[in-house]
């Protein structure tokens, strides 16, 4: 009986411990995971749930937060009402974010990585980040609808409250030209991607301030490197530049660019640059095109030649059409010619007749009268 009692006691203690553990687990999960989210250790994922706002009551120890593929159109200070001291990585890509308001990230004092790619941002507040922001990576790939909004959206970068930003992704944004002075206050920026952004040139002075190491300019609209760009690159001897996928114009205008490229140690994918035109050099490797083929005059001759050929073809076509019309109307023309011949004959006979009359002195008066 004593033994049995001890056994019962053990069982009781065991179930009690289990209950406490169970309650603890419940408490932990309640304390945390919002609806439609999955939480595991310090990671919270609320993906593809058609959410129109960032879920509230996130676990206060959240470190990585994914709210991707939803329908959030605005983020503001109300998006993060409670301080999340441990949050370092925030992924908001694939939403419909149009407005990033004042103080959005003020309750995320340790935010290091922010992914806003694949949104349609129209306005980004200069005061979105706190003054001592620890942000290191900012992804704004595919974020603007078009280049007319780029200035407005990117202006926040110049405010000077992102002193630790090292990595900025502005790819696939149809920028055409990087707005002046947006980089001047990014005092740690080391890596900048402008890939696939329709860049045609970079203004003198744009790259001067930040300590850039990597610059990705692949798949843009560069036809050559203007002197101002060469000067810009020369200021940063350690800079690594990617330039493949641009439509290089392989004629006499590329001379200076080519000289610079050959002498440069900065361009990483130098061997991969290809010509886009003239047609004869399309897809040829820029560095392997013979100097003698980089001519403009021959191109002009080519243009003249083709225009002469074209003119000849047009004239020939007109001739053929003319002959065709003649052939199709051959009966009408025959009839017409007969008519003319008959008319001529009548006329001539008339003359003949009149001549005979006029030559008859007896009828001279009559003829004069009839003429009047």
* Residue closer to ligand NAG (CB basis): 88 or 141: 141
Q: How far apart are the first and last CA of the chain?
A: 165
221 in contact with ligand NAG (CB under 6 A): no
Query: Pattern 18-37, binding to ligand NAG, x per CB under 6 A?
Result: -------------x------
Stretch of 43-51, 181-189, 325-333, 363-371 contacting ligand NAG, by CB under 6 A: 181-189
The conformation of residue 34, written as its DSSP 8-state character, comes to P
322-361 positions binding ligand NAG, by CB under 6 A: none
- We find the least distance from the C-beta atom of residue 280 to ligand NAG, in angstroms, to be 22
- We find the least distance from the C-beta atom of residue 295 to ligand NAG, in angstroms, to be 22
Q: Which two tokens stand for residue 210?
A: 């930040």
* Residue closer to ligand NAG (CB basis): 146 or 188: 146
Say what the alpha-carbon torsion angle 307, 311, 312, 313 is, to the nearest 10 degrees.
100
42 in contact with ligand NAG (CB under 6 A): no
- We find the least distance from the C-beta atom of residue 91 to ligand NAG, in angstroms, to be 9
Out of 73, 76, 272, 298, the residue judged to bind ligand NAG by CB under 6 A: 272
Beta-strand relationship, 43-45 and 38-40:
antiparallel
* Residue closer to ligand NAG (CB basis): 231 or 309: 231
Q: How many CB atoms lie within 10 A of CB 353?
A: 10
118 in contact with ligand NAG (CB under 6 A): yes
112 in contact with ligand NAG (CB under 6 A): no
The conformation of residue 285, written as its DSSP 8-state character, comes to B
CA–CA separation, 93 and 165 (whole Å): 19
The H-or-E segment that residue 167 falls in is: strand 167-169
Out of 13, 26, 27, 231, the residue judged to bind ligand NAG by CB under 6 A: 231
- We find the least distance from the C-beta atom of residue 263 to ligand NAG, in angstroms, to be 4
Out of 125, 133, 206, 274, the residue judged to bind ligand NAG by CB under 6 A: 125
276 in contact with ligand NAG (CB under 6 A): no
287-326 positions binding ligand NAG, by CB under 6 A: none
Out of 43, 47, 76, 181, the residue judged to bind ligand NAG by CB under 6 A: 181
User: Nearest-5° angle of CA 190, CA 191, CA 195?
Assistant: 155
How many residues line the site for ligand NAG (CB under 6 A)? 38
* Spatial contact of 266 and 240, defined as CB atoms under 8 Å apart: yes
117 in contact with ligand NAG (CB under 6 A): yes
* Residue closer to ligand NAG (CB basis): 263 or 291: 263
Alpha helices in the chain (DSSP H): 2-32, 150-154, 227-234, 255-263, 297-328, 330-358, 364-371
Closest CA to 237 of 271, 263, 258, 216: 263
82 in contact with ligand NAG (CB under 6 A): no
For residue 318, the SS3 value is: helix
263 in contact with ligand NAG (CB under 6 A): yes
Closest CA to 202 of 243, 169, 164: 243
Written as one string, the DSSP assignment of 249-275 is E-SGGGHHHHHHHHH-S-BTTGGG-BE
Written as one string, the DSSP assignment of 182-239 is SSTT-TT--EEE-TTS---B--TTTTSSS---EEE-TTS--SS--HHHHHHHHT-TT-
68 in contact with ligand NAG (CB under 6 A): no
* Residue closer to ligand NAG (CB basis): 256 or 299: 256
174 in contact with ligand NAG (CB under 6 A): yes
- By beta carbon distance, the residue nearest ligand NAG is 160
169 in contact with ligand NAG (CB under 6 A): yes
CA–CA separation, 341 and 77 (whole Å): 99
Residues lying near ligand NAG in the complex (CB under 6 A) = 31, 60-61, 85, 93, 102, 115, 117-118, 123, 125, 139, 141, 145-146, 148-149, 152, 158-160, 167, 169, 172, 174, 181, 184-185, 196, 204-205, 227-228, 231, 263, 268-269, 272
């Amino acid at each position: 009986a004593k033994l049995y009692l001890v056994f019962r006691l053990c069982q009781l203690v065991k179930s009690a411990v289990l209950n406490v553990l169970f309650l603890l687990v419940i408490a932990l999960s309640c304390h945390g995971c919002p609806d439609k989210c999955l939480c595991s250790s310090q990671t919270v994922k609320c993906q593809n749930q058609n959410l129109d706002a960032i879920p509230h009551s996130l676990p206060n120890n959240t470190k990585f937060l994914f709210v991707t593929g939803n329908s959030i159109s605005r983020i503001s200070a109300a998006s993060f009402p409670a301080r999340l001291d441990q949050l370092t990585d925030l992924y908001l890509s694939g939403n419909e974010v149009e407005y990033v308001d004042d103080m959005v990230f003020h309750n995320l004092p340790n935010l290091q990585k922010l992914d806003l790619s694949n949104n349609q941002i129209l306005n980004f507040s200069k005061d979105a980040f706190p003054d001592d922001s620890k942000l290191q990576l900012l992804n704004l790939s595919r974020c603007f609808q078009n280049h007319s909004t780029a200035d407005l959206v990117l202006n926040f970068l110049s405010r000077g409250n992102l002193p630790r930003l090292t990595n900025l992704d502005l790819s696939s944004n149809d920028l055409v030209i990087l707005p002046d002075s947006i980089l001047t206050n990014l005092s740690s920026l080391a890596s900048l991607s402008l890939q696939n952004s329709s860049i045609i040139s970079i203004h003198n002075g744009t790259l001067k301030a930040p300590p850039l190491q990597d610059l990705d300019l692949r798949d843009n609209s560069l036809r050559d490197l203007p002197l101002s760009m060469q000067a810009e690159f020369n200021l940063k001897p350690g800079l690594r530049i990617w330039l493949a996928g641009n439509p290089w114009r392989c004629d006499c205008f590329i001379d200076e660019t080519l000289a610079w490229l050959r002498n440069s140690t900065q361009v990483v994918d130098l061997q991969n640059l290809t010509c886009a035109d003239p047609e004869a050099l399309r897809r040829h490797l820029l560095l392997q095109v013979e100097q003698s083929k980089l001519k403009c005059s021959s191109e002009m001759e080519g243009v003249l030649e083709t225009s002469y050929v074209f003119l000849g073809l047009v004239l020939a076509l007109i001739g053929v059409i003319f002959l065709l019309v003649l052939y199709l109307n051959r009966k009408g023309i025959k009839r017409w010619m007969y008519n003319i011949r008959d008319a001529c004959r009548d006329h001539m006979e008339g003359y003949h007749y009149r001549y005979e009359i006029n030559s008859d002195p007896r009828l001279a008066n009559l003829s004069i009268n009839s003429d009047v």
